Chain A
């Protein structure tokens, strides 16, 4: 397999940067009106390019497709050296998340078309530049298979998000931005040490094998054969098999990666940055944060933790899954208690991503498939919910639930759209959320590693989701119109608002009614990971 040539993945990855450079060259003052169009066009072209990838994608193999690998730099190591490679490519999991990213991006940009924030804060050019930078970095996270380059993209996402929250956010934006930056950096920086250890031990930073060079994942599988794994937990001196030690190298490496991902997801109890960041972020920031950024964490767990540290994964699975279930219930509970609409949606993310974590640590094909699909579902539904909140805020300038009521009466179309998206987030059968959650619960029920209680309490979360989302819907949309707008024109949806919702609604139904299309894509990729854990 020739993997050094230019691949479609590379083209898709770097398209946002092209947009970024065009924006850089534009004069921010005279061409103000064109800035958003350049950004929007770039995101559409990137989306088209990723759809092209999807067309080229062959679901009949678990191998990396459209891969490209070029040696990038060498780090010397005693007498030899470790290669850092530019290594991109997609399997089913990456493909789906790339599509999610490129799908959410134009919607997020449309969501900021009518924003009043630029009248107050200005710097529209910088705003779109950061959005492009963010898209590039997020795509990079999902397609790279070299640990160092992955880390580069991973950290780079911090910078644009920091500025998006910090410059264009709400009142407490500085606190939220700094908290977001420090919290997530503190988590991910330990991963750097773990990455360096893995590279030093394996002699390569590539996770997948390509062009005749074995990657770390393959090496780990062979180490298993001779019983030496990361730290030679094999038969000890008296010939008896030692159990897995929680205080072992593999365990610490696992945790080094996991903490970084857990903070990003966020897994309970690492979630405290999330409500602040979400509530303070501008609409597009929230949409991207919920839609894509959080998935980087769950993606990282699937991609790296499970494949690189199988024994540690098994040992830690019940604990992490337990935290996932706690997150489901806790997130739902706290969500119910909120009076602030945006905070309510923010906490619902903690709950929904708890499901994803539960699905991942079921460690079987069903759980992983459900988890991956649920990442996409959550991106679409919660992204949609944040758009709704953003639009309400643009009109009424409040996030307090008590100030709303009866919106349906004034804006019936908007009410209907919101209902569909809320129901999808609740997991109503026939819509996308149901498919993901159902598969996850099925997976956890059939898991060799998790008990029945996990499924039981997980299911409770589905009910709780209905409780808090219906509460929100009732308070905001039902009843008498409490605060009529002074200008009747404000009730109309603009074309870009409608345009932002159409794709969301389409996806809600498409995944809900025809999930097989997406499951097919995931099938073999997920199987190859789940195969490690078959007992």
Chain B
């Protein structure tokens, strides 16, 4: 039935070089596993260093594969696509992973939960995210999503037991379990959605879906119905991963319970992967799902409603949080809402590129800022996981001025004040929304960011405007953690002050 391809044809079609950044990272994890297995107890420090080297190699491969002159290329028989979109998000994922690894070492040692698997799982998860951003086929979306998620389930529960076997944190266990059950549940939606889309179009390949969907929508058959339901289920499945309302319930508990570096890491990578897949599926695949001539894509209203709900709920509920990790959890829900504004804007035909670029810049800004904020929160946490309340940050400006300054910049960036990366992201996202004619959405977006200013500024108020009564608490301000904060701070400021840097980086990105 199948004709076996020639070797040359196989090599050309599979084009493994294009997948190199992701596949190299996966191969490298094997090296790290082996080294970690045989390295003595006093040499465990090599594991994170090796993991970082893997990230560096992957970054180099990424630079080589995505030279601007190359244009886009497909791999694995068209199931994987390597374009500027993939290349840009790969860098975001790699930087995020690196910052997370910097945060992890001292944290893990202090809690006595240091195990080499931690870094291996993180690398695998990153590789999954990298395959997800390049997925050109619903099957790959699913497989990559699982590769991204399963290590995260384990990482979330990493604080439950110490190395000596004693129990450490029940919350972490709960976090991993909750994330796993809900994650598995949401994957089912994704698969069912993919099946329906397959049923309607006869393919799981995104460009083929795009080609087929045009004819189906025009003919107005039951296949259109399958396509609509399929698209809805895909949004549900991916919506769980990126934590948009109403699929966000797991987020605060999971974020609070997981080890803080893991929270920081997954708040970024899971969103990068999820939004990348969402954009690919909706824009590259289903942007032709237009029910009447001249209207925006059918899923735009859904995306708009989700965005509004997410913005409102995330920002308003964050106000009442006393625990910083929970506050940042709700804030990350809110930020998913801002990215969702860009996703909604891609529904209008002329705005696809502007909106996609806006989403990418926003994701990058969010990556730096959020990792930095979590790094500061992690640094002031006590060993038992307590001490992360809003009152515990009081007087930080006096006790740790540099850390307080960095935290202020992160809070301003999350609010979207100019000269920070967050502002650049917001401008691009809202510019796209205005171009798409979604004025109501844009206005709700900016008004909710005023609401967000209230709880972000409360952190600054506590750090600068109130003096602490108690003495200086011990903080995890080791060189590695400081570097993590510094990198995040540099990213936030550089991309905020030099606006063109961000726009140039994503200038080549096009999903249309």
Partner of B435, one of A77, A155, A181, A186: A77
In the assembled complex, which residues on chain B have CB atoms less than 8 Å from the CB atom of A167?
A: 464-465
In the assembled complex, which residues on chain A have CB atoms less than 8 Å from the CB atom of B184?
A: none
CB closest chain-B residue, reference A198: B434
CB <8 Å contact, B503 and A151: no
From residue 187 to 216 of chain A, which have CB atoms closer than 8 A to chain B?
189-190, 192-193, 196-197, 199-200
Chain B nearest Cβ from A39, distance in angstroms: 19
Judged by a CB distance under 8 angstroms, whether A158 is at the interface is yes
CB <8 Å contact, A78 and B351: yes
CB <8 Å contact, B446 and A190: yes
A177 to B464, CA, bound (A): 12
In the assembled complex, which residues on chain B have CB atoms less than 8 Å from the CB atom of A177?
A: 461, 465
Chain A nearest Cβ from B434, distance in angstroms: 4
Judged by a CB distance under 8 angstroms, whether A413 is at the interface is no
In the assembled complex, which residues on chain A have CB atoms less than 8 Å from the CB atom of B465?
A: 166-167, 173-174, 177
Chain A nearest Cβ from B169, distance in angstroms: 34
CB <8 Å contact, A155 and B461: no
Contacts A72-B499, A193-B430, A199-B431 given; indicate if A166 touches B461 (C-beta within 8 A).
Answer: yes
CB closest chain-A residue, reference B449: A189
A166 to B463, CA, bound (A): 11
CB closest chain-A residue, reference B454: A182
From residue 76 to 124 of chain A, which have CB atoms closer than 8 A to chain B?
76-78, 84
Stretch among B85-93, B147-155, B324-332, B412-420 lining the A interface: B412-420
CB <8 Å contact, B461 and A178: yes
CB <8 Å contact, B443 and A190: yes
Contacts A75-B503, A159-B412, A166-B464 given; indicate if A193 touches B443 (C-beta within 8 A).
Answer: yes
Judged by a CB distance under 8 angstroms, whether A163 is at the interface is yes
CB <8 Å contact, A181 and B464: no
A177 to B453, CA, bound (A): 13
CB <8 Å contact, A75 and B431: yes
A159 to B504, CA, bound (A): 28
In the assembled complex, which residues on chain B have CB atoms less than 8 Å from the CB atom of A84?
A: 499
Can you list, as one digit per residue, whether each of B349-380 has a CB less than 8 Å from chain A (1) or not (0)? 01101100100000000000000000000000
A173 to B504, CA, bound (A): 42
Judged by a CB distance under 8 angstroms, whether A171 is at the interface is no
CB <8 Å contact, A156 and B447: no
Judged by a CB distance under 8 angstroms, whether B77 is at the interface is no
In the assembled complex, which residues on chain B have CB atoms less than 8 Å from the CB atom of A72?
A: 499-500
CB <8 Å contact, B431 and A182: no
In the assembled complex, which residues on chain A have CB atoms less than 8 Å from the CB atom of B503?
A: 73-76
In the assembled complex, which residues on chain A have CB atoms less than 8 Å from the CB atom of B354?
A: 75-78
A193 to B341, CA, bound (A): 14
In the assembled complex, which residues on chain B have CB atoms less than 8 Å from the CB atom of A75?
A: 354, 427-428, 431, 503
Chain B nearest Cβ from A179, distance in angstroms: 11
CB closest chain-B residue, reference A177: B465
A200 to B438, CA, bound (A): 13
In the assembled complex, which residues on chain B have CB atoms less than 8 Å from the CB atom of A73?
A: 499-500, 503-504
In the assembled complex, which residues on chain B have CB atoms less than 8 Å from the CB atom of A77?
A: 354, 435
In the assembled complex, which residues on chain B have CB atoms less than 8 Å from the CB atom of A174?
A: 461, 465-466
CB closest chain-B residue, reference A187: B450
Contacts A76-B354, A76-B507, A163-B464 given; indicate if A189 touches B446 (C-beta within 8 A).
Answer: yes
CB <8 Å contact, A78 and B350: yes
CB <8 Å contact, A156 and B419: yes
Judged by a CB distance under 8 angstroms, whether B46 is at the interface is no
CB <8 Å contact, B431 and A186: no
Contacts A158-B417, A167-B465, A193-B443 given; indicate if A182 touches B450 (C-beta within 8 A).
Answer: yes
Judged by a CB distance under 8 angstroms, whether A148 is at the interface is yes
CB <8 Å contact, B439 and A193: yes
Partner of A192, one of B430, B461, B464, B466: B430
Can you list, as one digit per residue, whether each of B470-512 has a CB less than 8 Å from chain A (1) or not (0)? 0000000000000000000000000000011001100100000
CB <8 Å contact, A186 and B447: yes
A75 to B426, CA, bound (A): 13
A265 to B287, CA, bound (A): 46
Count contacts on A: residues with CB < 8 A to the other chain.
36
CB <8 Å contact, A192 and B446: yes
Judged by a CB distance under 8 angstroms, whether A500 is at the interface is no
In the assembled complex, which residues on chain B have CB atoms less than 8 Å from the CB atom of A163?
A: 464
Can you list, as one digit per residue, whether each of A130-173 has a CB less than 8 Å from chain B (1) or not (0)? 00000000000000000010011101101100110011000001
CB closest chain-A residue, reference B350: A78
Residue among A156, A158, A174, A193 with max Cβ neighbours from chain B (10 Å): A193
CB <8 Å contact, B447 and A189: yes
Judged by a CB distance under 8 angstroms, whether A185 is at the interface is yes
CB <8 Å contact, B446 and A152: no
CB <8 Å contact, B446 and A193: yes
CB <8 Å contact, A159 and B461: no
A173 to B464, CA, bound (A): 12
Partner of B434, one of A151, A159, A200: A200
From residue 427 to 442 of chain A, which have CB atoms closer than 8 A to chain B?
none
CB <8 Å contact, A186 and B450: yes
Judged by a CB distance under 8 angstroms, whether B34 is at the interface is no
CB <8 Å contact, B431 and A181: no
CB closest chain-B residue, reference A84: B499
A155 to B427, CA, bound (A): 13
Judged by a CB distance under 8 angstroms, whether B53 is at the interface is no
Can you list, as one digit per residue, whether each of B424-464 has a CB less than 8 Å from chain A (1) or not (0)? 00011011001100010011001101100110010001001
Partner of B431, one of A153, A155, A200: A200
From residue 375 to 396 of chain A, which have CB atoms closer than 8 A to chain B?
none
Chain A nearest Cβ from B402, distance in angstroms: 12
Chain A nearest Cβ from B237, distance in angstroms: 30
In the assembled complex, which residues on chain A have CB atoms less than 8 Å from the CB atom of B446?
A: 189-190, 192-193
In the assembled complex, which residues on chain A have CB atoms less than 8 Å from the CB atom of B418?
A: 151-153, 155-156
Can you list, as one digit per residue, whether each of A243-270 has a CB less than 8 Å from chain B (1) or not (0)? 0000000000000000000000000000
CB <8 Å contact, B417 and A159: yes
CB closest chain-B residue, reference A201: B434
A74 to B504, CA, bound (A): 8
Contacts A73-B500, A74-B507, A77-B354 given; indicate if A196 touches B431 (C-beta within 8 A).
Answer: yes
A192 to B427, CA, bound (A): 8
Chain B nearest Cβ from A137, distance in angstroms: 9
Chain A nearest Cβ from B440, distance in angstroms: 10
A75 to B466, CA, bound (A): 41
In the assembled complex, which residues on chain A have CB atoms less than 8 Å from the CB atom of B434?
A: 193, 196-197, 200
In the assembled complex, which residues on chain A have CB atoms less than 8 Å from the CB atom of B417?
A: 155-156, 158-159
A295 to B503, CA, bound (A): 33
Chain A nearest Cβ from B511, distance in angstroms: 13
In the assembled complex, which residues on chain B have CB atoms less than 8 Å from the CB atom of A189?
A: 446-447, 449-450
CB <8 Å contact, A185 and B430: no
In the assembled complex, which residues on chain B have CB atoms less than 8 Å from the CB atom of A182?
A: 450, 453-454, 457
25 contacts between A and B (CB under 8 A): A72-B500, A73-B500, A73-B503, A74-B500, A74-B507, A75-B354, A75-B427, A76-B507, A151-B418, A152-B419, A156-B419, A158-B417, A162-B457, A166-B461, A166-B464, A178-B461, A181-B453, A185-B450, A190-B447, A192-B427, A192-B430, A193-B430, A193-B439, A193-B443, A200-B431
Other 11 A-B pairs with CB < 8 A, given A75-B431, A76-B503, A178-B457: A75-B503, A78-B351, A162-B457, A178-B454, A182-B453, A192-B446, A193-B442, A196-B431, A196-B442, A200-B434, A200-B435
Interface, chain A (partner B; CB < 8 A): 72-78, 84, 148, 151-153, 155-156, 158-159, 162-163, 166-167, 173-174, 177-178, 181-182, 185-186, 189-190, 192-193, 196-197, 199-200
8 tightest A-B CB contacts, nearest first: A73-B500, A152-B418, A78-B350, A189-B446, A166-B465, A196-B434, A186-B450, A73-B499
